[in-house]
Structure 1
Amino acid sequence: MAKVYVVGTMDTKGAELRYAVERVRAAGAESVLVDVGTQGSGTAGDIGAEVSAAQVAAHHPGGTHAVLGLTDRGTAVSAMATALTRYLATRTDIGAVLGLGGTGNTALVTEAMRSLPIGLPRLMVSTVASGNIAPYVGPNDLTMMYSVVDVAGLNAISRRVIGNAAHAAAGMALHSPPVSGTDKPGLGVTMFGVTTQCVTMLREAMEPTHEVYTFHATGTGGQSMEKLADSGLVAGLIDVTTTEVPDLLVGGVFPATEDRFGAVIRTGLPYVGSVGAVDMVNFGARDTVPPEFKDRRLHVHNAQVTLMRTTPDENRRTAEFIVSRLNRMPGPVRFLLPLRGVSAIDAPGQPFHDPAADQVLFDTIRSGWQAAPNRQLVELDLHINDPAFAAALAANFSELRSS
């Protein structure tokens, strides 16, 4: 039977963790209590834990002494997070992971939780779950439950909250959703409002042969797609919309991380990409645009989103970022350039039409491209939302999959 791994610091949260284990078992699931306390030898205070802190710490690349007994708590917590991540990777019987704690333990346990594959239940009862939880959750199906009262002793409120969390974790471990009835391979596709026409046509072309997962390119969207790639849940990617890159480089609100495209480099999955919506950097409402950009070419997309046209220099930097990672992809790659415009508002008569800035983008990709048998740069005298461009994306991906 898959087990619920209950994780926390036994030296400070022992009673709460043992209560969670009691409720998991009462709900009919098996459990494993894991201590990740960082103070002392790793054995003191771990009474009741099946896995001691020392056993977890031993999975750190530097060994137990790189984790336990450190004087700096922040360093110790970070080291234990690394150890817990590596420990959980060795387990083959995880049905769910349940964590309890405050700020330190939330950071520690959720870092390890984020390394687990999409679809594996993870639930964190935390004092910080009612605030900004994006750093803890990231692009994962990780559930955060607000503890209401501090995780500092058992009382009528904490028993109810922890009990509910334990029953939820037990239920997820005991009752996996049925496997999808389709035998179509999964396909990740990135989209933005200004590339919707392209992606809609692309999706219609690919759906007869693939289960298409569309991701809105809002920073987290690209991360979520690559998380699926790392988790082995897609057969390839058609990365139409790489707009998160200029947001990263210029300071927009929908940024990629430095690991953008990293999943393709690690997995070697078939990859077809383009430069959709890299003509823009995203901000919030008009009055939130940073002062240094007030005189730039701006377009109010809606009341909550203001777009800023990228300059030739910003397009050069974007292209350098993208092509440097394309050159490192070991699997089959096709990268398509729409020479007549990269978004719905980058076209004649539209507010972001700027052929000179686009030319810098295209020229930089051409000059940085490293030819290889597995990689092909495809230039098309089309706009990104032209039907023929969507058809070309689909055809190139199909060729990669069949080769």
Structure 2
Amino acid sequence: MNLPVALIATLDTKGPEVAYLRDRLADLDVPSVVIDTGILGEPVGITPDVSHSDLAQFGGITLEQLQHAGTRGDAVGLMRQFVIDYVSQLWAREEIAGGIAVGGVGVVMGAAALHTLPIGVPKIVIAPTASGRHEFGPYVGTTDVLVMHSVVDILGLNAIATTVFDNAAAAMAGMLQHGHVLPPPKSTSKCVGMTMLGNTTTAVGAAKDRLAELGYEGVVFHSSGVGGRSMEQLAEAGHLIGVIDYTTNEIVDHLTGGIHDAGPERLRRVGRAGVPQVVLPACVDFSVFASDAIPERHRDRPLYEHNPEYTLMRTSADEMAQVGAIFAERLNESTAPVRVIVPTEGLSIPSTPDGVFWDPDADARFLDSVRNDLRPDIEVETVPLHSNDPALGRLAADAFHALYTKEQQS
């Protein structure tokens, strides 16, 4: 018998629609386990397999306690954690094969539960808010979620809604039949994680080619606030033997409120996991904002229009010193070999002698902080190259090879 997929929604407002989707899945020989994340109302038009009372009890409280937990946000936060833990347990027990979250704003509870499923496990989020006008982070997290815009609100079974649900059911059936979960890393795997933005494409491409010559496979992650975290998670899970963290701008956006914010753990997890890494500060001289969303207090800074959607904002000298201190503090936690390489001829494409971001004094503040605060056993090498120079990419690859080889021999 096929394993079921988790079908997660607030059934007091989405019951008939979820019942329809459940039945379409069944028509395609895909069983489901329906999980109700509603908090206040009772299910309408459907009987869940796991009720909201069941989830509350699973979390160690009663439904009444959940309903009176404080603010609505408090109750949603609790229910979100309950369904995360419940779905994680279903997966660990090999009782589900995938999941679908359906809803409006409340879909983030089900989506968060889907994020716990490994890469390759089919995951679908269906929501009217998945339109590009809302942040996709709550839907996607750092994994391979398929997001479907429902076009219409999920309130009624009209021709548009049923078409979307029919196709979601077909997508799930197809992924279950023809897809596969990310396999465990082979003992012979030599995958190296790498971070990149458009500002470092040329150099990282050269590094990837050089790694291939040396017998490694470079796996590139877009350093957009999600890519760095995804790389770190895969390193922790054993899928990467090492990392060339070439493009580390995500730590800057966490300071400035830019959209490439990877959170406070960025640059810690690889080292804590005992994975060797070569780290460069490419692109720490800017943060990224939507072109129409530069904070008023920052509009006197040097700006660079990367494309019609995104504008880059120069990191101030004081922030560069702060970023250097963060760099050192987090790399100091590493339990594996680390090497830091700092290019001195510009950290991004607009940072050239005739470019709008050229500020050697500010960049020197970063380097001074790193040197002052980094553990003495972690080597810092400065090189007279630009961050996007292919020669620097090849140098970073060679540095990783030397670091990794030395560790293997020790």
Contact map agreement 1:4 1:24 (CA 8 A) in 2:
no
- Of 196-205 and 174-183, more deviation after overlay is shown by 174-183
Distance 2:311 2:156 in 1: 47
The 5 Å alignment of 1:56-205 reads: 56-60=55-59, 63-64=61-62, 68-70=66-68, 72-90=71-89, 91=91, 92-104=94-106, 106-130=107-131, 131-136=133-138, 137-177=140-180, 184-205=189-210
Aligned residues: 395
AA matched with 2:72? R
Q: Distance in 1 between matches of 2:344 and 2:65?
A: 53
SS of the counterpart of 1:214?
A: strand
**What stretches of structure 2 of length at least 5 have no aligned partner?**
none
CA distance in 1, matches of 2:65, 2:142: 27
What is the one-letter code of the residue matched to 2:102? L
Identity value in percent: 35
- Structure 1 residue 303: deviation in Å? 4.8
- 1:216-295 correspondence runs (5 A): 216-229=222-235, 232-264=238-270, 267-285=273-291, 289-295=294-300
**Residues of 2 paired with 1:184 and 1:219: CA distance?**
26
Provide closer, same or farther for how the CA distance between residues 102 and 291 of structure 1 changes in structure 2, counting only shifts above 3 A: closer
Task: Give the whole-Å Cα distance in 2 for the aligned partners of 1:197 and 1:279.
Answer: 18
User: Hey, what's the Cα distance between the residues in 1 that align with 2:62 and 2:371?
Assistant: 49
Q: Please give the secondary structure, in 2, of the residue aligned with 1:380.
A: strand
Deviation track 1:2-47 (CA, whole Å, cap 9, x = no partner) reads: 431111233443333233222212212232222223237x9x8796
* Aligned residue number for residue 348 of structure 2: 343
Q: TM-score, normalised by structure 2?
A: 0.83
- Listed one character per residue, the Cα deviations across residues 175-206 of structure 1 (whole Å, up to 9, x for unaligned) are 22597999744322112333233212101111
Q: 66-75 or 110-119: which moved more? A: 66-75
Q: Is the 8 A contact 2:52 2:63 kept in 1?
A: no
* Secondary structure at the counterpart of residue 190 of structure 1: strand
Is structure 2 residue 221 aligned with structure 1 residue 215?
yes
Match of 1:308 in 2: 313
Q: Secondary structure at the match of 2:288?
A: strand
Measure, in 1, the Cα distance between the counterparts of 2:46 and 2:306. Answer: 57
Provide closer, same or farther for how the CA distance between residues 381 and 163 of structure 1 changes in structure 2, counting only shifts above 3 A: closer
RMSD between aligned residues: 3.2
Secondary structure at the residue paired with 1:68?
Answer: helix
Indicate if the aligned counterparts of 2:88 and 2:113 stay in contact, CA closer than 8 A.
no
C-alpha distance after superposition, 1:261-294 (max 9, x if no partner): 2542563333221100212233454x76444334
The separation in 2 between residues aligned to 1:266 and 1:273, in whole angstroms, is 15
Query: Per-residue deviation at 1:364?
Result: 0.5
